[in-house]
Amino acid sequence: MKDNNLLLTNCSPEYWEFVRLLRMHKDVQDGFIETQDITPEQQVNYMSTYSDCFRIALLNGEPVGYVGVINDDIRICTHPNFQKRGVGKFLLKECFKIWPNAFGKIKISNKSSRKLFESCGYKLKYYIYEKS
């Protein structure tokens, strides 16, 4: 898939449930630093505040992933059916055009995200240690 098949759009209310369901999808949830169940009501409250910070990737009019930046921290996710097809790279490149100072906090175990960020020119800058 090439970038020209993808379109980036604002995260209007019609996409809020897509973001919620993708964020909680069993095949992607482990990649996030924090995992939690999100109710539809919690999503509406969250997106009412932060939807301007998110963009949706559309393929033939259907949402296939999202990127969001809050406090310069990137949140990115591609639907499992569209992973390894350039959607993440498209989202990250478009993200940088909108939020040039944004950065990614990535779990050490999330090899796919580490590889994605590195392929888009991001470099490892910090290690953060937490007591388990």
Spatial separation of the C-alpha atoms in residues 55 and 124, rounded to whole Å: 24
Given this model, what pLDDT does residue 21 score?
94
pLDDT at 94: 96
H or E segment and range at residue 74:
strand 73-78
* Residue 78: predicted pLDDT: 96
pLDDT of residue 30: 75
What was the pLDDT predicted at 49? 97
Q: Which domains does the chain have, with CATH numbers?
A: 3-119 (3.40.630.30)
The rounded average pLDDT for each run of 10 residues, N- to C-terminus, in the chain (132 residues) is 80 97 86 82 96 97 96 95 94 95 90 92 86 82
pLDDT at residue number 14:
98
Does the global pTM surpass 0.75?
yes
Q: What are phi and psi of 105, to 5 degrees?
A: -100, 120
Alpha helices in the chain (DSSP H): 16-23, 40-50, 87-98, 111-119
Residue 101 burial class via C-beta count within 10 angstroms: exposed 0-12, middle 13-18, buried 19 and up: exposed
